[in-house]
Amino acid sequence: MCGIIGCVGCGDQTLTTLVHGLSKLEYRGYDSAGVALVGDDGLQVVKKAGELDSLRGELDALEGVSGTLGVGHTRWSTHGPPTDENAHPHQDCTGDVGVVHNGIIENYQSLRDELESAGHTFESDTDTEVVPHLVEEGLEDGLDAEAAFREAVSRLDGAFALACVVAGSDAVLVARNDSPLVLGIDDGATYLASDVPAFREFTDRVVYLDDGEFARLDADGWRVSDVKGETIEKSVETVEWDAEDTGKSGYDHFMLKEIHEQPRALRQCLQGRVDELGGTVTLEELGDLEPDRIHLVAAGTSYHAAVYGSQLLQADGVPAQAFFAHEYASSPPPDTDALVVGVSQSGETADTLSATRTARRHGAETLALTNTVGSTMARECDHVCYIRSGPEIGVAATKTFAGQQTALNLLTQVATPGPSDRDVIEALRELPSDTQEILDESNAETVAEELLDSDAYFFIGRALNYPVALEGALKMKEITYKHAEGFAAGELKHGPLALVTGNTPVFATVVGDGELARKTIGNVKEVEARDAPVVAVTDGVSDVKRYADHVLEVPDTHPRTAAILANVQLQLVSYYTAAKLGRSIDKPRNLAKSVTVE
């Protein structure tokens, strides 16, 4: 996810403050960085592709880059590759307007066509660049900087956090819609950032912006207003500098933030590993590994990812099996021809560490599939594959489960003899945007509200959607404390059907219109006949909607990635159910983020 930093009132420390803020945003993932400063010499913009050190080197090579206010940005590529031209900030034709942006402007192409027809020249491939040109249009029409910025924002569709500076103006102008922004309030200075750590060394007083709000930061302080320009009274909160108490980016809970970080996390997982044009997947860290069979060992959410991964591998002809790590360690010694894959978000899960250690003692080759660089499992195993999801603070795993599923897709492509599956590669490349579509359009909150008083929740699925059912039930029970169970859909009639009542909703994941979908629809009819509310998680290809009381849509895609998308919808249902029940979502009772005891 891109990062924004801005400041007013820092005097000759403005540039230093911006670069410091960018360094605190590096954890979010990025491929370019830049700053824009306004001073006596007008607007100065410096930006470079690559890591922050590249920007520092460029700034050191230049003289006179200074200003009394400014903005900075770390970019994660969406529209256009990571180049100097595509790095933020972006400018207008006159060079007087600078804009940084997080999110996606959905109608940028039509705006760009309109602006180019009016004579504007574009320098980048990004969606962001339309914004400074729209501001330029407003300025040419006689509007002041703030009015021109507001007019530009009114033309935009999509999710965005925007910060704009204009030569000759003494303000940083800000707007938020579905992308986090927070202000930092200090005596004589005001800061703006995507997340608190960017300015936390300077102040512990913050103001979280909400969707549809604007802010103006100038020498006199700060002001927040609505789309009509009317002032909104915002409370100034004091944050503690403990890492577990900061960094929510305006979201109510870390879990919700981390659910919404999944598009960025998935891009990070895929970056540099998938070549859609060449039709290849590369995991350089695995070298030329060609396992005869694979054993996946894990616990909890990671076990559900392991079940999903084992099914992927089996479907492509690689003998594979998923094991509970705590059972594997005490089972007969593993076949030394098997590659033993320890799946663990933290890389410190005691059960999984015990399993991989047992495997190594018996001569098996091991691979750690983890999120945590430098973790014990990563250090001890023969190979390591990082899922690159970024920090996850919420105890209930969300983005790391999606990262595990995605990484296991990559592992399957590498481990399978023969060429990679181009259809799968195409679906993986679309996965981040498909996930964002769900986050933008999901009706999960409404479904959660209508089913809030249920006695229990059942989740069913077949094949790749069976582990999705298991994970959907686990999330529900972890954070809501309500009874929830996941079943292979075909098992429903072999016992669990006895528990189905009119107050036990059944979540059925049905994608495509093949034999598995038709059989699952048969299971849906079974519970419908017993008056159970049915929630269909579906791409709409089959006719399951006609039997459902509620529908959670997923984009039409490959069945392998559809299972990842279905899980996102179920995460949201669990989150909103827990929120409406007033549960301790980020720290559910009796649970820990990293389980370090067996």
Q: What is the mean pLDDT of residues 435-449?
A: 97
141 pLDDT more than 50: yes
Name the class of domain 251-440. Answer: alpha beta
251-440 and 442-598 share one fold: yes
| Known active-site residue 93 | no
Q: State the catalytic residue, choosing from 2, 10, 164, 269.
A: 2
Kind plus residue range of the DSSP H or E element containing 275: strand 274-275
The pTM for the full model equals: 0.62
Angstrom distances, CA of residue 5 to CA of 24, 67, 351, 396: 10, 15, 41, 29
Q: State the catalytic residue, choosing from 482, 519, 545, 593.
A: 593
**Model confidence over 468-482: pLDDT tens digits?**
999 999 999 999 999
For residue 23, give the nearest of 200, 270, 276 by alpha carbon. Answer: 200
| Known active-site residue 2 | yes
135 pLDDT more than 70: yes
Q: What is the mean pLDDT of residues 377-392?
A: 88
Bond before 417 cis per omega within 30 degrees: no
Residue 349 or residue 218, greater confidence: 218
Domain boundaries, the chain: 3-249, 251-440, 442-598
pLDDT of residue 596: 38
In CATH terms, the fold of domain 442-598 is Rossmann fold (3.40.50)
**Number of separate helices (H) and strands (E) present in the chain:** 17, 26
pLDDT of residue 286: 76
Contact predicate 303/256, CB 8 Å: no
pLDDT of residue 597: 41
Contact predicate 536/505, CB 8 Å: no
**Chain-centre distance of CA 62, in angstroms?**
36
User: How many residues in the chain?
Assistant: 598
Q: Could you report how far apart the first and last alpha carbons of the chain are, in Å?
A: 35
**Chain-centre distance of CA 575, in angstroms?**
15
Kind plus residue range of the DSSP H or E element containing 154: helix 145-154
Could you tell me the CATH superfamily of domain 3-249?
Aminohydrolase, N-terminal nucleophile (Ntn) domain (3.60.20.10)
Pairing of strands 221-225, 158-166: unpaired
pLDDT of residue 245: 40
